[in-house]
Amino acid sequence: MKTIENISRMSTFVKIMKKEGKSIGLVPTMGYLHEGHLSLVKAAKKHTDVVVMSIFINPLQFGPKEDFQKYPRDLKHDEEMAREAGVDVIFYPSLKDIYPEGYATYVTVEKLTGNLCGESRPGHFRGVATIVTKLFNIVKPDVAYFGQKDMQQALMIRKMASDLNMDIEVKIIPIVRDDDGLAMSSRNIYLSDAERKDAVVLYQSLKNAETLIKNGERDARKVIKTVEDMIRAKQSARIEYVKLVDTKELKDLKMITGEIALAVAVFFSNTRLIDNITIMVK
């Protein structure tokens, strides 16, 4: 496994691979890898010849009060995990190489980004769309892999790739969960023991809602209320949102019908966790 630390060397590598007719799979990450990331690598290895994992903590997608400075980093451990998972290249560019002085160009996706995390994190999705466009242009992947945990991000990227004629397939890979159901996230490391125990409520409340819906409940407000009540019962949890939306436009639904997503964002102290499930309702 190679680690490539600058854009121009990455471009050279990509040119050679393209000349050899190799297909490229890209797994964009911010590092501090967990099983969720590795499931993206696994999918990439199935479909493409060369798997590139980028590790870049993108300041553009953090708000001024968010955790950019203290976002967990451990390149050494990441390299071990990536090598074991069969990553061919880690692309680990510097901040200055990605955003040189005078940087000025941004990509925005105006649909899909207004609701859910877009409401509470202004500028976040613009930051994501911009860095992903840059990574796509540098790595020129045939397929790029994103996790369902960040559903809104993944759908936005897919829309962006289509709108901008990027000729890149965007694959969305299911959430990987810990044994007790908590969705894997680099931010789980921030949780205290008590918070870690309480955090299981996210998945539990979503599964409970799924049962309600499967048993015939069609009133979104009632389902949301049930989820909120379950989460609020945990002392350390502070709800940012519980939303029930369609999976096409991510708009709030009143009546539950079609393919829907139930999505939550919850703080435990300063740690913000998200989770979601999608359900097909006939």
Q: Which residues are catalytic?
A: 37
* 50 DSSP β-pair partners: 24
Query: What's the min distance (Å) between Cβ of 281 and a second copy?
Result: 23
Q: Are 27 and 43 in contact (CB under 8 A)?
A: no
Q: Are 151 and 260 in contact (CB under 8 A)?
A: no
Q: What is the DSSP letter of 131?
A: H
Residue (of 274, 230, 223) closest to 120 by Cα position: 274
Distance separating alpha carbons of residues 162 and 160, to the nearest angstrom:
5
Query: What's the min distance (Å) between Cβ of 243 and a second copy?
Result: 20
The nearer residue to a second copy, 5 or 229, going by C-beta atoms, is 5
The single-letter code of the amino acid at 88 is D
The nearer residue to a second copy, 2 or 111, going by C-beta atoms, is 111
The nearer residue to a second copy, 105 or 215, going by C-beta atoms, is 105
Query: What's the min distance (Å) between Cβ of 85 and a second copy?
Result: 26
Query: What's the min distance (Å) between Cβ of 168 and a second copy?
Result: 9
Residue 129's contacts (CB-CB under 8 Å, 6 or more residues apart) are 106, 107, 108, 109, 156, 157, 160
Distance separating alpha carbons of residues 53 and 29, to the nearest angstrom:
7
The nearer residue to a second copy, 80 or 249, going by C-beta atoms, is 249
Query: What's the min distance (Å) between Cβ of 203 and a second copy?
Result: 31
Collapsed DSSP state (helix, strand, coil) of residue 26? strand
Binding site residues, a second copy, CB under 8 A = 7, 11, 102-112, 129, 133-134, 137-138, 159-160, 163-167
The nearer residue to a second copy, 136 or 203, going by C-beta atoms, is 136
Look-up of token digits 């071990």: 80
Q: For the CA atoms of the chain, what is the radius of gyration?
A: 19
